[in-house]
Amino acid sequence: MVEIDMKVKMKRVDEIIERYKGEEGVLIQLLLDIQSEFNWIPHGVIARISEKMRIPTSQIYRIASFYKAMSLNPVGRHIVQVCMGTACQVRGAPKILDRLEANLKIKEGGTTPDMRFSLKRVNCLGCCAMGPVIEVDGTYHGKVTSAMVQEILEKYE
Amino acid sequence: MPRVKSRDALEELIGEIVAKRDLNKPCITLCSGTACHATGSDSVADAIVEELDKQGLTEEVGFRRTGCHGFCEQGPIVVIYPEAICYLNVTPDDAPEIISKTIKETGIIDRLLYTDPSTGERIVHEHEIPFYKHQSRLVFGDNLRIDPTNIKDYLALGGYRALARVLHELTPEEVLEEVKRANLRGRGGGGFPAGMKWESTRNAPGEPKYVIVNCDEGDPGAYMDRSIMEGNPHRVLEGLTICAYAIGARHGFVYVRQEYPLAVKNLGIALEQAREYGFLGTDILGSGFEFDVKVHRGAGAFVSGESSALMNAIEGKVGEPRPKYVHTSEAGIWDKPSNLNNVETLANVPLIIEKGADWFGSIGTEGSKGTKIFSLVGTVNNTGLVEVPMGTTLRDIIYKIGGGIRGGKRFKGVQTGGPSGGIIPVQYLDLPVDFDELTKLGSMMGSGGMIVIDEDTCIVDLARYFVDFLCDESCGKCVPCREGLKRMREILEDIVAGRGKEGDIELLEEIAVVMKKASLCALGTTAANPALSTIRYFRDEYDAHIKEKRCPALVCKDLISYYIEPEACIACLKCLKNCPEGAIEGEKRVIHVIEQSKCVKCGICYDVCPPKVGAVKKISGKPVPPSLPEAERAIRKGKKKGGGSD
Ligand SMILES: Cc1cc2nc3c(=O)[nH]c(=O)nc-3n(C[C@H](O)[C@H](O)[C@H](O)COP(=O)(O)O)c2cc1C
Ligand code: FES
């Protein structure tokens, strides 16, 4: 089973690589596509990119660790992003983050042991008028209060 | 659609599109920017479409999903044309009534109208709402009328006419001259004159040349570039193409952040349509000019929005800045002359070409021409995007348009210029806002973030927040920025935690001087601004933290305590039930008490205590009063309780 999974995965990786073959300066775009496909960038995939694109793994790791949008660790089924941008900050975002950390019993950047949630802080989701904002799997929740946090989390199995 | 091959063909096409549109036909528009997605615009759209179908009106009534209208506080917003009836906070359940009452019978649904908070008067038409009335939406206004995925909407408003004029009537030098004469200054941060930058790129030796749009918008709290890119991408592309012509570039890039999925999507659609119609590609509009654009998604690093860093990223390298003595206009992408402009800067260009530099120059102040879009957010009543002529006062923006401070709180200041900007205090409310005035006050224009703060925001904590942000985002390449920010963060963290000591402020100032002088890029040279500007205007708050271990805004966790006032408590159990730590003790008819040793200061008790009661208080700088003896905590039946006061 795992074996087949791996094969399917690598096939997707190869398809993504194929989009960029022969072009210059595409590494960041390629890694972003991998990130959106798997929600993280597995080590095996980095080796594959290195081999196919003839780019040293060190260079790939350098990029993948520099950018916030890329993750080198596996993430949970649901990704909770808390906006800590200025507009959200002055409307109570720190309290929301505290509450999420307390309810999920993880720190930001972490993943719950049951792999249900990963918690991330981001700098601005661009819905500043709705602050404080959290985003779960692409759905935005605006004007969040501490008391709403648990209710929102319960929607995600 | 065949390619548009000449200026005449464009005029013909525009004429055709306009002729087919019946301006008297009712049309429902729904704003579908990202903020409205957050408030359920998708389900409203579904409901409207379904209802039109049900009532058999799909043919007679137009429906259009537009970009952001800017009044995000009240979204989703529905505007019904031709009358421009404006409904706010629309839900899917309102759809049947909107169609049967407003569309079929031209009746108005009162509850969906804007209510003026001061007079209670209801306002029917969009342009009469104070939020819109006092703006001049030269750049942003078309967002209301355009479905960004349909190039015909842009053409119907005369889109790509400016490009046609440039290609067929003006030489590149003449375009440069016009933009220089208009004195269009960069909207992305520095305020550098766009025409001069274009000229130096044009004159720099080396081929090919590149032009780039900066839609990284790393400034937290600002989202106007996103809203333009999402809502009116063709306007940016038209501006970019004109810029390319003036400079002599055949390749362009749009650098847009990955966190803006809708902007990436709408931009992609716009590019395809522009190519299809021949506004991009070879022989554009039959002029022989050739130009095309690639999209590069940014991967979430603030410093990558800086020009040389952004160019590194486009090359596929880590987005770190290069030393500034090499100008990107001479050696940018792959060491070729490259011109970078912000989204809003380029969105102004078609307007300048169309209406002329003189017209543009008649708007704004001596040194800053045209309008500026601000992202008016924070603790103001009407949050959203606001476009006003340069030189409009802060008071007009915050009070006339923004409707003042929410919850009747006291205005404390407004933060402009992004993380490395500054906070402008109340005594400068009548300041005309332009590039130079803001700089004089130790802040800057930045990209136009305007974050209003009230008495409940702690200035020292806010300074700590910005320094922390910049510390995280510093690429670490140069020592003054990397180490300076770290030290500043330590000092500020100490101050908010009650460990501040005499001399801390002076030390902050000293570090600031070095960072300003010796950092590699503008991130470092401006990083001390938030600390310096807050020290300049709010030194007493620093002193309260350092000397009295008191947080006047009652924010800094280590310096405050939560306390239930026994005289005000009605023993309603609300706080007790909601306390996640079980730190509140009491029962029905027994006054509640917070066990200070268990309290984590999450503030939930404070939030859930009914406003009428207001028994939960925050205190700072003095000890928590001892709790009442057990025997005195019982509330006897019939005993009149005094209401809480604030
Ligand atoms: C740390 C840093 C971050 C920046 N981020 C952005 C950004 O997100 N968007 C932007 O348009 N300009 C940003 N700038 C400014 C750019 O370097 C550049 O000046 C600008 O894009 C030029 O366009 P303009 O002249 O049209 O304003 C940033 C600058 C620095 C130093
Ligand atoms: S600051 Fe939170 S969405 Fe912009």
What mean pLDDT is predicted for residues B461-489?
Answer: 92
Alpha-carbon gap, residue A103 to A106, rounded angstroms:
8
Residue type, B189: G
pLDDT of residue B643: 41
pLDDT of residue A101: 93
Indicate the pairing of strand A139-141 with strand B62-66. unpaired
Measure the CA dihedral B17/B21/B27/B32, to 10°: 0
Domains in chain B (CATH in brackets) are: 25-81+85-124 (3.40.30.10), 151-361 (3.40.50.11540), 371-457 (3.10.20.600), 460-547 (1.20.1440.230), 557-637 (3.30.70.20)
Q: Could you tell me if the CB of A134 is within 6 A of ligand 2?
A: no
* B420 DSSP 8-state letter: G
Alpha-carbon gap, residue B43 to B111, rounded angstroms:
20
The verdict on whether omega for the bond into residue B208 sits within 30 degrees of 0, i.e. cis, is: yes
pLDDT of residue B645: 40
ipTM > 0.90 for the complex:
no
What mean pLDDT is predicted for residues B592-607?
Answer: 92
Total residues found in chain A within this entry: 157
- What value does the mean pLDDT of chain B take? 92
**Ranges of chain A whose pLDDT falls below 70:** 1-4
Tens digit of each residue's pLDDT (9 = 90 or more) over B226-272: 999 999 999 999 999 999 999 999 999 999 988 888 999 999 999 99
Q: What is the pTM of this model?
A: 0.91
Residues of A in contact with B218 (CB under 8 A): 123-124
Tens digit of each residue's pLDDT (9 = 90 or more) over B375-388: 999 999 999 999 99
- Note whether B599 contacts A: Cβ–Cβ < 8 A: no
pLDDT of residue B646: 41
Please list, residue by residue across B199-210, b when 16 or more beta carbons sit within 10 angstroms of its beta carbon and e when fewer do: bbbbebeeeebb
pLDDT of residue B1: 64
pLDDT of residue B302: 85
B642, pLDDT greater than 70: no
Residues having CB closer than 6 A to ligand 1 are B 186-190, 192, 194, 214, 216-219, 302-303, 305-307, 340-342, 345, 447, 521-523
| pLDDT band at residue B562 under the 50/70/90 scheme | very high
pLDDT of residue B314: 92
pLDDT of residue A130: 86
What mean pLDDT is predicted for residues B302-317?
Answer: 90
B644, pLDDT greater than 70: no
Query: Residue B201: nearest ligand to its CA?
Result: 1
| pLDDT band at residue B637 under the 50/70/90 scheme | low
The CA distance from B59 to the nearest CA of chain A, in Å, is 33
B638, pLDDT greater than 70: no
Tens digit of each residue's pLDDT (9 = 90 or more) over B603-613: 889 989 999 99
B95, pLDDT greater than 70: yes
Tens digit of each residue's pLDDT (9 = 90 or more) over B505-536: 999 999 999 999 999 888 899 999 999 999 99
Query: Would the CB atoms of A99 and B378 count as touching at under 8 Å?
Result: no
The verdict on whether omega for the bond into residue B233 sits within 30 degrees of 0, i.e. cis, is: no
What Å distances lie between residue B323 and A39, A59, B120, B476, CA to CA? 34, 21, 57, 13
